[in-house]
Amino acid sequence: ETGCGKTLAYLLPLMDDILTQKQTLAESGEGKLSYEYCRAIILVPNKELANQVLRMAKPLAGGEEAVLWDPSAMPSWEYVEGETPVIAEEKEKVDPSTIVRLGILPGQLESPRDYKPFRDGLDTPQRTPPLDLVIGTPASLGLMGRSPKNLDFFADVQTLVIDEADMLLDGGYIRILEDALMGFKRADRLLPKQLQQPYFTNKLGERSEWFDEVDETAGSDLGVKKTQHVFVGATIPNAGLKSVDAYIARKFPFAIECKLPGLHNARHYGLEESPTQWIATEGNTERLDSLVEMLRGEGSEGGGLKGEKTMVFLNSAKDVDGATNALRRAGINAVPYHAKISLAERMENLTLFRKFNVADGVSTTDNDQSSSAAQPVLVCTDLASRGLDIPGVTAIVQLQFATNVVIHLHRMGRCGRAGKKDGRGIIFYSSKEAGLVDVVREAENQQERMVLEGDVDDTDDKNSDTENVGNAGKVKNAFSRRRGFNKKRKKIRRKEMEATEGVENTM
């Protein structure tokens, strides 16, 4: 589920395994780590999420001294909130057995030796200890995965974590992710038969733990071990033979499924204490007027959002800019967040929004326009709906209704995180969307688990001129296959018009 702690769920076991192995080696005084490049790689959709994983991992790993920065990667990854990265050789000497060494991968690597921390661990006269956890995007590994020359690298990585799996297995991500997966698949094929055992098994009586305990020396002459794959997500479309769930079952038949009972529930647990507020209204002006009135109004029983930490979602960057400017003209402090503004500005705006604390009682109309003032309202596209963990968000406003169910679930999941249930949801919709709203509201009221449709296009025709733009997010039995909300709206509208014409013809 969104907000349940998925990142820590894979970080903590990995870190525990790494530190246990290091402690054992330190106590024995002999032997070496079972990897030369890195113990595990974590792939996420974008740089913001990579920075977030790093921010969560760093205090657990040993602080700033645990992070190794490659100078060539720093220009594109330099906006980690609240810190100035220190290049590896400028750090103080730290006992590597007491920390988990972290790294951020740049994009478009053709060889692992293009990345300085890897190169230093292999080619320098006094080899530095290897990295332990590396974070990147599919673009970090795609080019390397195509070349057999990088076999030693992919064979060395013991765990690959694919976070936001349904997003990376859809649309524009799937091609480059498949290239990266090919590198691991090629390395796995070199394993001797006796070592080709999965990390997970569904068979009773066999091991079902995180880490395989095969003989560490077996097959060492080949320098390869089978890579563990971990797919993580709050929404895993599971309807049909080409769904994300079916893709994983087909490619990784020994995979074990671990899920919470609230997966795909129409109503996020963080909104349990307050019913979702659905507002039927036409036109952007009317919606903005209502939103401004809410942001100025007192909260709690008054229903206002004054002093609340609020995320406002719209469906395009243009609409986000328009709404942000309108709110500012009305005296509401707000910052935009979408892909068409620079990474630096996005990270700065996100930092200002993170800084706002509802307990401080800061008003949305304090009119403090200084660049460092904490901002209570983040106006955003769905770039902010995936994975971002922003503590203390108390209200989600969909000024424009989500274009599919998966997006709707992720938007609403930005509040009430980590077990909190005090979030509020406010959704504006038009008459054209009323039919779809009825479906979602009924599912919410009955607390139904929705069966999501979303196909993976993993065909081998990489030269096809047809782009897979993604289709995740439909609800089985409510929406036709390969149809999003917009097409369903038109269908409902057409039926309404036909019904009206039928009545007129009988009169």
For 136-155, the pLDDT digits (tens) are: 999 999 999 999 899 999 99
Long-range Cβ contacts of 305-308 (<8 Å, 24+ apart)? 305/364, 305/395, 305/397, 306/363, 306/364, 306/365, 307/358, 307/361, 307/362, 307/363, 307/364, 307/376, 308/358, 308/364, 308/376, 308/394, 308/395, 308/424
The token duo for 73 is 């990667």
Report the alpha-carbon distance of residue 349 to residue 243 in Å, rounded.
36
Q: Put the strands of the sheet holding 377-380 in their side by side order.
A: 277-280, 424-429, 395-398, 310-313, 377-380, 334-337
Report the alpha-carbon distance of residue 154 to residue 122 in Å, rounded.
15
Q: What is the DSSP string of 280-321?
A: E--SHHHHHHHHHHHHHS--GGG---TT--EEEE-SSHHHHH
Residue 411 has pLDDT above 50, yes or no: yes
Q: DSSP assignment, residue 428?
A: E
Percent of the chain with pLDDT over 70: 64
Looking at residue 336, its pLDDT comes to: 96
Please, are residues 146 and 178 in contact by the beta-carbon 8 Å criterion?
A: no
Of the spans 79-88, 202-211, 295-304, 453-462, which averages the highest pLDDT? 295-304
Q: How high does pLDDT run on average in the chain? A: 74
Residue 499 identity (one-letter amino acid): A
Report the alpha-carbon distance of residue 363 to residue 298 in Å, rounded.
10
Please indicate whether residue 493 or residue 280 has the higher confidence score (pLDDT). Answer: 280
Looking at residue 462, its pLDDT comes to: 39
Local structure of 452: helix, strand or coil: strand
Question: Stretch 235-261: mean pLDDT, rounded?
Answer: 73
Looking at residue 84, its pLDDT comes to: 47
Report the alpha-carbon distance of residue 2 to residue 410 in Å, rounded.
7
Report the alpha-carbon distance of residue 458 to residue 231 in Å, rounded.
16
Q: Give the angle 187-188-191 at the CA atoms, nearest 5°.
A: 105
CA nearest neighbour of 187 among 138, 161, 222: 222
CB atoms within 10 A of CB 4: 18
Same fold, 6-234 and 269-448: yes
Report the interhelical angle of 343-355 vs 47-61 (nearest 10°): 50
Q: Please report which confidence band the pLDDT of residue 161 belongs to, taking 50, 70 and 90 as the band edges.
A: very high
Residue 297 has pLDDT above 50, yes or no: yes
Residue 73 has pLDDT above 70, yes or no: no
Please, are residues 25 and 33 in contact by the beta-carbon 8 Å criterion?
A: yes
Residue 429 has pLDDT above 70, yes or no: yes
Task: Provide the pairing of β-strand 102-104 with 40-43.
Answer: unpaired
Looking at residue 244, its pLDDT comes to: 74
Please, are residues 149 and 73 in contact by the beta-carbon 8 Å criterion?
A: no
Local structure of 132: helix, strand or coil: coil
Question: Stretch 429-440: mean pLDDT, rounded?
Answer: 82
Question: Stretch 122-131: mean pLDDT, rounded?
Answer: 76
Q: What is the DSSP string of 327-341?
A: HHHTT--EEEE-TTS
Residue 239 has pLDDT above 70, yes or no: no
Range of lowest pLDDT (76-85, 91-100, 182-191): 76-85
Would you tell me which CATH number, out of the four given (3.40.50, 2.60.40, 1.10.287, 1.10.3470), belongs to the domain 6-234?
A: 3.40.50
Looking at residue 117, its pLDDT comes to: 87
Domain spanning 269-448: CATH superfamily:
P-loop containing nucleotide triphosphate hydrolases (3.40.50.300)
Range of lowest pLDDT (57-61, 69-73, 367-371): 367-371
Looking at residue 314, its pLDDT comes to: 95
Q: Please report which confidence band the pLDDT of residue 242 belongs to, taking 50, 70 and 90 as the band edges.
A: low
Of the spans 193-202, 204-213, 290-299, which averages the highest pLDDT? 290-299
Residue 332 has pLDDT above 80, yes or no: yes
Report the alpha-carbon distance of residue 462 to residue 442 in Å, rounded.
41
Q: Please report which confidence band the pLDDT of residue 169 belongs to, taking 50, 70 and 90 as the band edges.
A: confident
Q: How far is CA 347 from CA 27, 80, 289, 336, 474, in A?
A: 43, 8, 28, 11, 31
The token duo for 239 is 């309807």
Report the alpha-carbon distance of residue 61 to residue 24 in Å, rounded.
17
Q: Is the dihedral of CA 5, 10, 15, 16 positive or negative?
A: positive
Which residues does 288 contact at the CB level (< 8 Å), separation at least 6? 323, 326, 327, 399
Looking at residue 74, its pLDDT comes to: 47
Q: Per-domain residue ranges for the chain? A: 6-234, 269-448
Residue 334 has pLDDT above 90, yes or no: yes
Residue 49 has pLDDT above 60, yes or no: yes
Please, are residues 458 and 175 in contact by the beta-carbon 8 Å criterion?
A: no
